[in-house]
Structure 1
Amino acid sequence: MIKIMMSMTAALIISMGLMFVCTVISKTTNMDREKMSPFECGFDPKSSARSPFSLQFFLIAILFLIFDIEIAIILPMIVTMKTSNIMSWAVTMTVFMMILIIGLYYEWKNGMLEWAF
């Protein structure tokens, strides 16, 4: 119990000491209106909050996430091929790939992959 209390005390002293040293040696900054305003995602906070956002960009980002997750699922399937039944592995992999290919074909035919200006 003493060791835990000593460890907690040491951690508290070290963290408080570091905070004190950082405030002492930190450079003072001029806090003007520009620096105090929030900055999020590259949008200028002084403009309208309802700035237009490209829906096409959003769809491409969602496609990227889907295919990124696909890679994360396929890579372990390659490793498990040696230890599993080859027939069930092949059926699972074929069904998985066919679902992804059909989804990609659907998006391509509906024009979701074409960047509109």
Structure 2
Amino acid sequence: MVDLSEYAPILLFLAVALVLSCAFVFLPMGVSRLTGTHNPSAEKLSEYECGFPAFEDSRSQFDVRFYLVAILFIIFDLEAAFLFPWAVSLDQTGWVGWSSMMIFLVILTVGFIYEWKMGALEWE
């Protein structure tokens, strides 16, 4: 027979997390509905983050430059994620770790220069 009482703290943690997350999401929305005035206007509903109107058709095409910038961001974000553990463990990896990271950085730099020369970072 399996003793399920060992799972009680985990279930309690999940229940508290569920209650708190629901409270943090729905409580502010409810309070704002009760205390504020809900008066949407054309100015309030206008686009303010991206600068161009929202698409009515979900299948409309984006410019490829959005994707290129996103890919470049992911690449350099991963580079930063690789540099920190490498710097922390450099005394253990020695020259082999240092040279492999320099090869990685050279390849990344060559890729960045290629993207720059191809015009992926230029906006009209």
Kindly tell me: are residues 77 and 116 of structure 1, through their superposed partners in 2, closer, same or farther at Cα, counting changes over 3 Å? same
Q: Which of 63, 69, 92 does residue 54 from structure 1 map onto?
A: 63
Amino acid at match of 2:108: L
Q: Equivalences for 1:68-87 in 2 at 5 Å? A: 68-82=77-91, 84-87=92-95
Instruction: Tell me which residue corresponds to 1:10.
Output: none
**1:104 and 2:123 aligned:** no
Instruction: Tell me which residue corresponds to 1:64.
Output: 73
- How many residues are matched? 101
Instruction: Tell me which residue corresponds to 1:116.
Output: 123
Deviation string 1:42-99 (CA, Å, 9 cap, x unpaired) is: x978x541434222122111101110011001100000112x2421022111111111
Gaps of 5+ in 1: 2-42
TM-score by length of 1: 0.55
Larger of the two Rg values belongs to structure: 1
Gaps of 5+ in 2: 6-51
Aligned partners of 1:85, 1:63: CA distance in 2, in Å? 28
Instruction: Tell me which residue corresponds to 1:93.
Output: 101
Aligned partners of 2:108, 2:64: CA distance in 1, in Å? 22
Does the residue aligned with 1:112 lie in a helix, a strand or coil?
Answer: coil
Aligned partners of 1:97, 1:86: CA distance in 2, in Å? 17
RMSD: 4.3
Q: Structure 1 stretches (4+) deviating beyond 4 angstroms?
A: none
Amino acid at match of 1:74: L
Amino acid at match of 1:69: L
Amino acid at match of 1:78: A
TM-score by length of 2: 0.53
